[in-house]
Amino acid sequence: MKVYALSGGYLELDSAIFFADRAPGTRVTAPIGCALVIHPRGRLLFDTGVHCAAIADPVARLGEARAKRFGVRSGPDDHVVAQLALLGLAPDDVSHVANSHLHFDHCGGNEFFPRARFLVQRRELDAARDAATLALGRYTPSARDFDHPLDYHAIDGEHDVFGDGAVVLMPTFGHTPGHQSLRVRPATGDEIVFTADACYTQETMDRDVLPGVLWDAGEMRDSLAALRRLRDGHGARMIYGHDAGQWRAMRRAPEALV
């Protein structure tokens, strides 16, 4: 089994978005990490980043308000299709796609995978489809990014992708109604957890500070505690959702993470 960290783009944003206790006014550039797991039974892509069209024309793709809140700072190859090409792969070589959740920076590339089986928590799909039509206040899924004729499979809670315990989707609700993280156990014995937005950065986990904007604080705190137990109690390696320092120091595609 091999695991790769793929760039799904870079966004400049106010750091107060990450930490509820921080005063607004400081802009930071955050990476959007995606992961590719190559398993004997298939290839799983975890998250699809920001849509590649946002690189050339952010306002046209994201809309004016979102493009103002989030500056697109991606280079030309910072999108999943180009990242797969670095590994000699095309989108059709990906058998499974799992979205951590359906915000625009995590499902932007979904439309490029019409042959893949999509694995998304039922709570997330239901809320996103509801929110897209009913405009639920605290949750803004990106219908333009996920609402395509794709092979979506709703999953409920923990899901063992290939049936051998090596690649497991783990419910980490709270950031959004049906957020999930990815646990990978390569044969080397180490365990890697891609938290996605259940934990933006290492500081989030170390200081136990939630973002200001989220779906359910109680659920998110429980999810963060479960992830922390995996890190501090089981020695799992956390790959945080948007941690610039960790991302810079990490082995990324075309190099394998493990």
Distance between CA atoms of 22 and 47, rounded to whole angstroms? 28
Stretch that binds Zn ion, among 79-87, 192-200, 211-219, 230-238 (CB under 5 A): 192-200
- The amino acid that residue 227 corresponds to is L
- Kindly tell me which of 124 and 197 has the beta carbon lying closer to Zn ion: 197
- Kindly tell me which of 12 and 151 has the beta carbon lying closer to Zn ion: 12
**Closest distance of CB 78 from Zn ion, Å:** 14
Touching Zn ion, residues 224-253 (CB under 5 A): none
**Closest distance of CB 195 from Zn ion, Å:** 11
Q: Report the sign of the C-alpha dihedral through residues 28, 216, 63, 101, in that order.
A: positive
Q: Report the sign of the C-alpha dihedral through residues 157, 163, 165, 168, in that order.
A: negative
Answer whether 11's CB lies under 8 Å from 106's CB.
Answer: no
**Closest distance of CB 197 from Zn ion, Å:** 4
Answer whether 182's CB lies under 8 Å from 169's CB.
Answer: yes
197 contributes a contact to Zn ion by CB under 5 A: yes
**Closest distance of CB 228 from Zn ion, Å:** 19
* Cα torsion through 251, 255, 256, 258, rounded to 10: -50
- Kindly tell me which of 32 and 89 has the beta carbon lying closer to Zn ion: 32
Touching Zn ion, residues 128-157 (CB under 5 A): none
Touching Zn ion, residues 41-60 (CB under 5 A): none
Q: What angle do CA 186, 42, 198 make, to 5 degrees?
A: 60
- Kindly tell me which of 31 and 186 has the beta carbon lying closer to Zn ion: 31
Stretch that binds Zn ion, among 13-21, 109-117, 189-197, 215-223 (CB under 5 A): 189-197
Give the distance between the most distant pair of CA atoms in the chain: 47
Backbone angles phi, psi at 225, to 5 degrees: -65, -40
- Kindly tell me which of 145 and 197 has the beta carbon lying closer to Zn ion: 197
- Kindly tell me which of 89 and 227 has the beta carbon lying closer to Zn ion: 227
Summarize the chain as % helix, strand, coil (round to 5): 30, 25, 40
- Kindly tell me which of 166 and 196 has the beta carbon lying closer to Zn ion: 196
**Closest distance of CB 233 from Zn ion, Å:** 26
Q: Is 134 helix (H, G, I), strand (E, B) or coil?
A: helix
Site mask for Zn ion (CB under 5 A), range 86-105, x = bound: -------------------x
**Closest distance of CB 47 from Zn ion, Å:** 9
Beta strands (DSSP E) in 108-204 are: 117-121, 151-155, 159-160, 167-171, 180-184, 192-196
Stretch that binds Zn ion, among 80-88, 141-149, 163-171, 196-204 (CB under 5 A): 196-204
Residues within the interface to Zn ion (CB under 5 A): 105, 197
